[in-house]
Amino acid sequence: MKVVYPICCGVDVHKTFLVATIIATQGIVPSYKKKRFSTFNNSILAFKQWLLDNNCLDVCMESTGKYYVPIYNLLEDSIRVTVANPKWVAAVKGNKDDVKDSKWIGDLFRLGLVPGSFIPSKCVRILREYTRYRFKLVSCKSSEKNRFQNAFTVCNVALDAVVSDMFGKSASSITDYLVNSDTFDPEHCISLLQRSLKKKADAVIESIEGFQMTEEQKERIRFVRKHLDFVDKLIADLDQTITGMVEPFESAISLLCTIPGVDRTSAITIISEIGTDMSQFSSSKRLCCWAGLTPGNNQSAGKKKSVRITRAGVYLKPALVQAAHAAVKSKTSAYYRIKYERIAKRRGKKRAIIAIARMMLTAAYHMLQTGEVFNPCDFYQVDMPQELRNKQKEKALKQAARLLIAHGVVLPEHIAFSA
């Protein structure tokens, strides 16, 4: 096989130490230099100097959790680091240790058999940490909301069966009254209702009457509510910090917001995951595959096995699916809704929404690459305004009438006159 990297290094990374093997190709037989370093900063800098002294500028290591990140941070300025998925560099079990693992990684990398993972620039990586933390806080907020609602359900309060939002103004006023009051006054509850919920006053009272709530249960509900308010405030503060961090990416965010269904929060999440430099991906298909939106290819002996999408893109994929749901329900643009309905008839709703998410990521790839706003080539064919649709139909009828007249076909007077 052809040697791609004449001098390279394979690194087996652990929490407290790393084992490195430099491979130098001289003639046919390669030579090996092995050394062990600590993962403390001074030792990593010594490892970096050892690489430079041996004229090794290409390093490959597997992405073992977050242990590779400190090493990558100190090497990326002067050494080309390839971070590989562990499945591509897994050694054969039964005859492996730390030294043999580093040698195996180096041998595969030397022959160009290890595809590198996408690692964005440092500013994008820092932004990614914030957006992923925000995702966790939003998930925590949803859990606390469910916990708050279940606390009333077990106390025989079926208010959630009447109101559409347990955290609306009317429902919040009633829940606060139930938790902080020792008595229950139906008239006072009715006075707390607002707008359209006043029409359901009888149903609201019926869902509450006869409830059983001890002081300890009330105290637990107060704890849940305090935590929910704290998480809300934390998300607001986090959003304010993220707003200051994304100032260099405002033009890219504005571009992505032109896609139907993509709001500012979704655009920031997309940029934090894939960056703005699309040269990292050879094509939009590679980007979709990296995001876990591409069906697999698993065929053997003429039999096609499971082709489910992969588990990749654990943060990007949910954001795109959420944007896809918003796009197919959009009232301003029917572009993705029409495509979704066509696919859903043949493949089902779940596959259709994944297909829409992939279309949106493909659009984002080309928009970030060219700097153009959302304007797909089939936009007017799918989502054409009625005026343009009538003009297109009229133009097609005129062309057909001219062809018929040219072939000697006699047409009615009003059609012949318009042609």
User: What's the pLDDT at 406?
Assistant: 72
**The pLDDT value given to residue 417:** 47
Q: Residue 92's domain is classified under what CATH number?
A: 3.30.420.10
Neighbours of 191 (CB within 10 A): 12
For the whole model, what pTM was predicted? 0.84
Residue 262 included in any domain = yes
pLDDT band at 248 (very low <50, low <70, confident <90, very high): very high
Instruction: Answer yes or no: is 119 within a domain.
Output: no
For residue 62, pLDDT beyond 80: yes
Is 88 part of a structural domain of the chain?
A: yes
Q: How far is CA 256 from CA 3, 170, 380, in A?
A: 41, 37, 20
- Is residue 416's pLDDT more than 70? no
Q: What is the pLDDT of residue 386?
A: 64
Whether residue 101 sits in one domain with residue 197: no
Coil, strand or helix: which one is 288? Answer: helix
- Number of domains, the chain: 4
Same domain, 150 and 239: yes
| Residue range of the domain that includes 354 | 249-299+306-379
**Does 132 share its domain with 211?**
yes
Percentage of residues in the chain with pLDDT exceeding 70? 92
The answer to whether residues 39 and 144 belong to one domain is no
Question: What are residue 11's DSSP bridge partners?
Answer: 20, 61
Which of 112-116, 249-253, 360-364 has the weakest average pLDDT?
Answer: 112-116
**Residues 6 or more apart whose Cβ sits within 8 Å of residue 160:** 149, 152, 153, 166
In a domain, 115, yes or no: no
Residue type, 285: K
Average pLDDT across the chain, whole number:
88
Q: Which of 110, 142, 166 is the last residue of a domain?
A: 110
Domain match, 328 and 267 both: yes
Tens-place pLDDT, residues 354-408: 999 999 999 999 999 998 888 887 777 666 666 666 666 677 667 766 776 776 6
Cβ atoms of residues 72 and 3 within 8 Å: no
Q: Looking at the structure, do residues 268 and 368 belong to the same domain, yes or no?
A: yes
Query: The CATH number of the domain where 200 resides is what?
Result: 1.10.287
**Residue that is last in its domain, among 81, 110, 139:** 110
**Dist CA 108 CA 105 (whole Å):** 5
192 domain-assigned: yes
What's the pLDDT tens digit per position in 292-335?
998 877 777 778 777 788 888 899 999 999 999 999 998 888 88
Mean pLDDT of 327-353: 92
Residues 130, 239, single domain; the answer is: yes
d(CA 224, CA 140): 11
